[in-house]
Structure 1
Amino acid sequence: MTSSPLVTVVMPAFNAQAFIGEAIASIRAQTLEDWELIVVDDGSIDQTFAVAQQAAGDDSRVRLIRFGRNEGISAASNAGFDAARGEFIARIDSDDRALPTRLAAQVAAFRECARLAACGGHARLFGDGIANDTYGLCTLGDGALKARLFEGFNTIGGAMLMVRRSFVREHRIRFDMQMASAEDLNYLVAIMVAGGEIGNVDEVLVEVRSHRTSFTRSREDLAGPAMKGLRKRLLALWYPSLGPRDIDLIVGMWFGLEVGTDELLAVVRAVDRLIAADAKDFGQDVSVLHDLIVRRLVAVVDFFRGAFDASHFQAIRVLAAPAIGVALDAARLSHEAV
């Protein structure tokens, strides 16, 4: 190829011999034909590289990069993104399949909005333990998407990501080499901080495979710490006036909370301070974020209600901001505790 392609697709791969052939075939079957595919074999010890070569055949649009050792998905993604020549860069996992119109639909979204820096779409889920016609439908709209980065799902998954190359290179946005999980969400946070808009195409673009050897299922021990760090980073960005203790208490609602009245009341106070604080504007929808946090607080209070008496819940009602009080009332916690 002598001219630059419109889209570069980056496919990090590690020990993916069972599925990478299907993943490559799905890119070769795209309705938009002006693409290049960069497969980054991240030090596989199986036949991933050979299977990728076979799947590429004589298609000159497919390039292969091979690491001598396993360096992780962030390193593999960065290598592919650095080598990309396309106006847009897409990422897909080596065990998933792009639907034929994926690239065309995402490029159209970028063409419609010059401010768009990152784009995703919905997914169909298939494979082990997945019922037929199961879909992962993602949030639409820049503000809601940015707020839901805190939630960690319904945003833009790594398998669906496409970015505007000029934007990520201008702002030197890269996948964090220190993150073994949630690196795709952290990448979107960096785009948000740089002032980029994010969005989703309201179409199913990718088929995401569930299998027992997938990174998500085999390394669940890495997901919790990564998400905890990401949520703390987001709250510190959005609420610079919020102290570290308040941030720890709020984020702790998702990762285990000591069963104690004082601890729970401290969480209520921390949530109140967050709701009352002025948020730094990165385009996030503050009402969506508040709703996520208040709903979680209500769930925590509901979970612990058996350990407390009516006076404890009365104290919570007194301390709670109106938004929290309404949520508690809606959950019928107040009168159930009395």
Structure 2
Amino acid sequence: MLENKNPRISVVMPNYNAEKYIAEAIESILNQSFSDFEFIIIDDGSSDKSWKIIQEYTKKDKRIVAIKNEKNLKICKTLNKGIELARGEYIARMDSDDISHPERLEKQVKFLDKNLEVGIVGANIDMIDEDGKVYSKRKYHFNDSEIRKYIFRYSPFCHPVVMIRKSILEKSRNYDPDLVYAEDYDLYFRIGMYSKFANLNESLIKYRMFENNSTTKKLKQMEKCTLFIRKKAEKKYGYKMTLLDRIYYYLQCISMFIIPRKLKIWLFNLLRNS
């Protein structure tokens, strides 16, 4: 009898109404240089044709595990569902409108295999518009001490390019289903209680960001959640803000009410990349 061997990686990708981009996202995972993975795609009650596209790919590649939620569960419950189904040692996040670089999984697996103290690894990103054109690049701090130094000022990782040890996710209790936004930021604080952080100092994903996607449309709600999570990290998770962190925190509180959204996004990207 053949042994039912678990894959090294479980790629977890939620989807909601991304018919325009999902085929390219799926192709970018299926064409990875590292092939020992399962690809868990969970459709969260889409009303467009994206579920049909997912089903077509399921017929072509046995590594795909396709699931459709009977009702819209939102991001946290959908991600937790994928994690519970995952059989891999590592969980790789992916979004249905982004594009992973061909060697993304291979490079992240090699890094985690060599650095056992690291529980989560991300990477830099190429930011693309609605048409897939690269308009900016974003770099992240790549060692644990630098990541922790700035964790109260901005998220230390780009969510759809992280790879996490499943054992660390289980210790961290996965995503908080009570959070509507910034669920990844909250998770990072909890992961940091059990392991070290790291980012690879190279771009491994094309991250789609444009005027009408959820990241820009829900900016004020995301800011409120982010500020709440920072307070929770200090009170509940044992992190401590520096004086500069606290100044930054209160400036962001004020900025929610006086700075226009487009200017705020521009300022964030300027400060983030400086």
Q: What TM-score do the two structures reach when normalised by structure 1?
A: 0.69
The alignment-based identity, stated in percent, is 26
CA positional deviation for 1:140 = 1.0
Which residue is 1:148 aligned to? Answer: 150
Q: Which runs of 4+ in 1 moved over 3 A?
A: 128-133, 247-250
Which residue is 1:175 aligned to? Answer: 175
- Provide structure 1 residue ranges, at least 5 long, that are not aligned to the other structure: 258-298, 300-338
Which residue is 1:200 aligned to? Answer: 199
Q: 1:147 to 1:180 in 2, by over 3 A?
A: farther
8 Å CA contact 1:173, 1:191 repeated in 2? no
8 Å CA contact 2:126, 2:137 repeated in 1? yes
CA positional deviation for 1:130 = 8.7
Q: 1:7 to 1:130 in 2, by over 3 A?
A: closer
2:87 is the counterpart of 1:85: yes
Q: 2:253 aligns with which of 225, 249, 255?
A: 255
Q: Matches of 1:38 and 1:15 in 2, distance apart?
A: 17
1:167-200 deviations in Å (ceiling 9; x for gaps):
222x15211111111111111111112x211101
Which residue is 2:266 aligned to? Answer: none
Once superposed, what is the RMSD of the aligned Cα atoms?
2.4
Alignment of 1:163-312 (within 5 A): 163-169=164-170, 171-193=171-193, 195-236=194-235, 237-239=238-240, 251-256=249-254
Letter in 2 for 1:143: S
Which one has more relative contact order, counting CA pairs under 8 Å at least 6 apart? 2
Which residue is 2:265 aligned to? Answer: none
Letter in 2 for 1:227: T
CA positional deviation for 1:148 = 2.2
Q: Matches of 2:7 and 2:130 in 1, distance apart?
A: 36
Give secondary structure in 2 for the equivalent of 1:22: helix
Q: Matches of 1:135 and 1:172 in 2, distance apart?
A: 30
2:150 is the counterpart of 1:139: no
CA positional deviation for 1:250 = 6.5
Q: Matches of 2:163 and 2:94 in 1, distance apart?
A: 9
- Provide structure 2 residue ranges, at least 5 long, that are not aligned to the other structure: 256-270
Letter in 2 for 1:198: F
Give secondary structure in 2 for the equivalent of 1:12: strand
Which residue is 2:258 aligned to? Answer: none
Letter in 2 for 1:164: R
CA positional deviation for 1:224 = 1.2
Give secondary structure in 1 for the equivalent of 2:60: coil
Report which of the two structures shows the higher radius of gyration computed on alpha carbons.
Answer: 1
CA positional deviation for 1:249 = 7.5
Q: What TM-score do the two structures reach when normalised by structure 2?
A: 0.84
Give secondary structure in 1 for the equivalent of 2:108: helix
Aligned pairs, how many?
250
